Structure 1
Amino acid sequence: MTLAELIAQARTALDTAITTRQTEQDALVAMRSDENLTEEAVRTQVAARDTADAEVTRRQTALDELLAEEAREAEIAALQARTTPAANRAPAYDQVAHVGQEERTYRPDQDRRGSNFERDVAAAFLGDYEARDRLARHMTEERVERGDQLERAAGTGAFSGLVVPQYLTDLYAPAAAARRPFADAIRGHDLPAQGMTVNLSRVTTTTSVDVQSAENAAVAEQDIDDTLMTINVQTNAGQQTLSRQAIERGAGVEPVVLDDLFRRYATTLDSKLLNQATNGLTNVATAVAYTDGTPTAAEFYPKILESLAGVEAALLDMASGENIAVMHSRRWYWMQNALSSTWPLISQPGIAAQMAGTNLATTYGSGVRGTLPNGTPVIVDNNIATNLGAGTNEDEVYLVDRNECHLWEDPSAPMYIRAEQPKAANLGVLMVVYGYFAYTHVRYAQARKIGGTGLVTPTFTGV
């Protein structure tokens, strides 16, 4: 084993020792808040913490010794270079002309299956500093060659070193996912670092102001009061166990599985915001019925305005004015299919017409798809259910003030765990993706949903 490998191993051991020590310290802090605490339990935990402390010191000493040895070796090499006759010394790299291009860190001609990349991803998660350096170098190369694609990929910067080399993925066809259009459109917050609830104060009893009945008479008075609003923090998670054979003998299997886990994570989170029992948007929004055996887009549009009127009436001066309409893609295209007696109800890009709305021609999941005749932006989200109603063939359209739909997420989510030990006897590797989130649509009860027989599976007849 080389000196560099020994140093990398010592750094990994030190990282592990520090993590263990922090775990013991956290346990001690948590224990001290326990009302049933005993002195013996505290002494035991303090001893465990001190043992972990000693291990950190031992590992740090070992690493310092190796680093000192490395520095001494560098000094010897420099001394040797000074004492070697100039005639026998090769010219320095920066003193020789070079033509060409630096080789990529991961190359298809040397690593067709991408096993070197996969091994570095795994080693980096286990603390291998050299693997992290190679992945960082790879990310720099990716930004140079595919920077425009990486900038469009939401959250790529949070997974530095995990962008799969292009030659491994140019023919990869991931399973389609609805992803998170609604979650990305509403008001986001960083989830607090601790706790499993988010608590908000909501004023439910207001003060009172009225005209004074007579001079020196008592003026109106009512005591203000609030109600604590408690929002649960939820854990969104998924796992996949891969055989070592699949990872080591397959072509890019691990990155493909990781990508799919991230896609399912995003889809599930968005679906919960819309459909979850009790708190999902469909269960808290006030219903606006659209019942029609022969529905048309022209008849449907007034229901949208009715819903928006309800949103503003509920919010009054708290309305931000940033209302959005959230609908399934089948409903959006049904509205575009409709024609008025003279002009298209929804215009298309590049067509100069007296339009009543616009289609921005953006792709699914990329934000606002268009605007309705009154200027309300449209978010298309295929996590909206299409099996509602008596005939199990209806969808719903939601009208909300986007700033009053709140989503708290951990800034690092989703997080990734790669564990080999639990499945070692089966030659399995466990991959887990998880994250914490909390949400509410009812800080003010403002959301509206349009549903009914007028929103059955659409037929595209131009009306």
Structure 2
Amino acid sequence: MPTTTDSRLTRLRDRRTALVDRRRAITNGADARGDVYLSDAEAREFTRVCEQIAQMDDRLDELEAEARHAAPTEGAEIARRARYSVNEGRTYERGNGSSFFQDLARVSVNMDGDGAARERLQRHAQDVAEAVERRDLDRTDGNGGYAVPPLWAMSQFVELARAGRAYANLCERLPLPAGTDSINIPKVSSGTATGAQTADNAPVEEQDLEDDFVTAPVRTIAGQQDVAIQLLDQSPVSFDQVIFRDLVADYATKLDLQVISGSGSSGQVTGIRSTSDIVTIAAATATVASLYAKIADAVQRVHTGRFMPPTVIVMHPRRWAWFLAALDSNDRPLIVPNAGNPQNAIATLGVVGAEQVVGQMHGLPVVTDPNMPTSLGTGTNEDVIHVVRASDLLLYESGIRSRAMPEVGSGTLTVRLQVYGYLAFTAGRYPKSVVEIGGAGLAAPTF
């Protein structure tokens, strides 16, 4: 009859096997859908099952230790016998009448009636074990480590972190018209005039309207990756999806950089910072007090030049963190969460986030974008702040298109994966809608 410990071991092992099958079913479900990642619910279930298996393993170790103490192993009995023969000569010494091969043959064909041959073989094994060099095995490769293979968590594939397109998403976004390589927008450059009539029947004020146009050339953003077809066929993850996701993520970063800093040449759009006639405010010293005043100045300049209010303040995350770190003379923070109903704060903290609205300053939402330049000025690590009426910025976009072209490298079983898209952008309709603080660069923040 099995002992109580044996029965409990059997039940625990059966439960552990069921948990392992459940964990495998979760990952198989994601693979069947072609997903590299588990869903949120699957990830929670996967973590819960893994924790239960770990707890089960700890309990199994305890019960197996109890079983070993309750029933001495055959190895323990051999060691016991060896202790009593430690002073004896070697079992198969020359001339003592014992033969290793004869005893081995007797045991092999079950002719060892009294067990003496088996006992001599066991004693010989003890003699040899004491004579040879002993080495402890560990997880070092070549010293037992190859028996412990690494586990590749393919469902937790780590993608490259990339900045998004926070500034571009603030613009007025429109579909890119087909069949053109340039979008021209008419613009009134000099308007009409009115005036008080000096007397009845006196001439009425007249001034001819003059027009011009703003042009936004259509540009292309594209990227590709050549990959061996064996990688696509044999990889346990959908590697083409990994590549396409990374290409699309970089596409978003590059489009945002074009909107902010495109040079207008070499296939680039004319970005906001390269647009002529945007307003710039110098900021030689970058203290919290001085920048707070400069931002107020920028707000009024949009009102004065555009005759409409600005809608957003855009800055690099490190500049916003610098504001958050500011303290008053009593070491109290100047920017505090708006949930605390602050008084006399220069700004309020909305959320701890990235590439989104993170707070308010001068009544305007503050958006952080890691693509805002930080390599300006004589120190080459200086940044700028923008106060903008974002609806005046026009961004025309096509959809992102993807292609897989096996013909390009068919002679070497190579497939080319490619993404591309078209855009046109202009900030030239109302350049006075953009005010840049620190055009030559704000001194890099310190903490």
TM-score above 0.5, yes or no: yes
Q: Report the counterpart of residue 310 of structure 1 in structure 2.
A: 301
1:111 deviates by 8.2
Q: Which amino acid aligns with 2:174?
A: H
1:381 deviates by 0.6
Identify if the C-alpha distance between structure 1 residues 169 and 450 changes in structure 2 by more than 3 Å, giving closer, same or farther. Answer: farther
1:228 deviates by 2.2
Q: Does 1:361 align with 2:356?
A: no
Identify if the C-alpha distance between structure 1 residues 408 and 109 changes in structure 2 by more than 3 Å, giving closer, same or farther. Answer: closer
Comparing 451-460 with 296-305, greater Cα deviation is found at: 451-460
For the 8 Å contact 2:382–2:442, the answer to whether it is kept is yes
CA distance in 2, matches of 1:360, 1:212: 54
Q: Which amino acid aligns with 1:280?
A: G
CA distance in 2, matches of 1:111, 1:244: 25
Q: Report the counterpart of residue 172 of structure 1 in structure 2.
A: 157
SS of residue matched to 1:335:
helix
Q: Which amino acid aligns with 1:173?
A: V
Q: Report the counterpart of residue 226 of structure 1 in structure 2.
A: 211
CA distance in 2, matches of 1:109, 1:436: 38
Summarize deviations over 1:29-81 as a string: whole Å, max 9, x none. Answer: xxxxxxxxxxxxxxxxxxxxxxxxxxxxxxxxxxxxxxxxxxxxxxxxxxxxx
Residue in structure 1 matching 2:34, options 101, 104, 117 = 117
Q: Does 1:248 align with 2:233?
A: yes
Residue ranges of structure 1 left out of the alignment (5+ in a row): 1-105, 122-140, 147-166
CA distance in 1, matches of 2:406, 2:262: 34
Q: Which amino acid aligns with 2:404?
A: R
Q: Report the counterpart of residue 450 of structure 1 in structure 2.
A: 437
Taking only aligned residues, the RMSD between alpha carbons, in angstroms, comes to: 2.9
For the 8 Å contact 2:27–2:155, the answer to whether it is kept is no
For the 8 Å contact 1:344–1:356, the answer to whether it is kept is no
Q: Report the counterpart of residue 262 of structure 1 in structure 2.
A: 248
Residue in structure 1 matching 2:271, options 280, 284, 298 = 280
Q: Which amino acid aligns with 2:379?
A: G
For the 8 Å contact 2:377–2:441, the answer to whether it is kept is no
1:248 deviates by 1.3
For the 8 Å contact 2:160–2:246, the answer to whether it is kept is yes
Q: Report the counterpart of residue 337 of structure 1 in structure 2.
A: 325
CA distance in 2, matches of 1:312, 1:300: 18
Compute the TM-score of the two structures, normalised by the length of structure 2.
0.63
1:115 deviates by 8.9
Summarize deviations over 1:255-290 as a string: whole Å, max 9, x none. Answer: 111110010000000001111114222222322100
Q: Report the counterpart of residue 199 of structure 2 in structure 1.
A: 214
For the 8 Å contact 2:215–2:426, the answer to whether it is kept is no
CA distance in 2, matches of 1:144, 1:116: 15
For the 8 Å contact 1:314–1:444, the answer to whether it is kept is no
**How high is the sequence identity, in percent, across the aligned residues?**
32
CA distance in 2, matches of 1:406, 1:168: 44
Comparing 435-444 with 250-259, greater Cα deviation is found at: 250-259
1:349 deviates by 5.6
Q: Report the counterpart of residue 405 of structure 1 in structure 2.
A: 393
Identify if the C-alpha distance between structure 1 residues 454 and 298 changes in structure 2 by more than 3 Å, giving closer, same or farther. Answer: farther
Q: Report the counterpart of residue 386 of structure 1 in structure 2.
A: 374
For the 8 Å contact 1:208–1:221, the answer to whether it is kept is yes
1:452 deviates by 6.2
Q: Report the counterpart of residue 360 of structure 2 in structure 1.
A: 371
For the 8 Å contact 1:409–1:436, the answer to whether it is kept is yes
CA distance in 1, matches of 2:236, 2:420: 25
SS of residue matched to 1:420:
strand
Identify if the C-alpha distance between structure 1 residues 392 and 109 changes in structure 2 by more than 3 Å, giving closer, same or farther. Answer: closer
CA distance in 2, matches of 1:204, 1:349: 43
CA distance in 2, matches of 1:235, 1:454: 29
Identify if the C-alpha distance between structure 1 residues 427 and 385 changes in structure 2 by more than 3 Å, giving closer, same or farther. Answer: same
For the 8 Å contact 2:402–2:419, the answer to whether it is kept is yes
CA distance in 2, matches of 1:298, 1:338: 10
Q: Does 1:422 align with 2:422?
A: no
For the 8 Å contact 1:179–1:263, the answer to whether it is kept is yes
CA distance in 2, matches of 1:390, 1:109: 53
Identify if the C-alpha distance between structure 1 residues 308 and 378 changes in structure 2 by more than 3 Å, giving closer, same or farther. Answer: same
CA distance in 2, matches of 1:429, 1:116: 23
Compute the TM-score of the two structures, normalised by the length of structure 1.
0.61
Structure number with the higher helix fraction is: 1
1:107 deviates by 6.8
1:327 deviates by 0.6
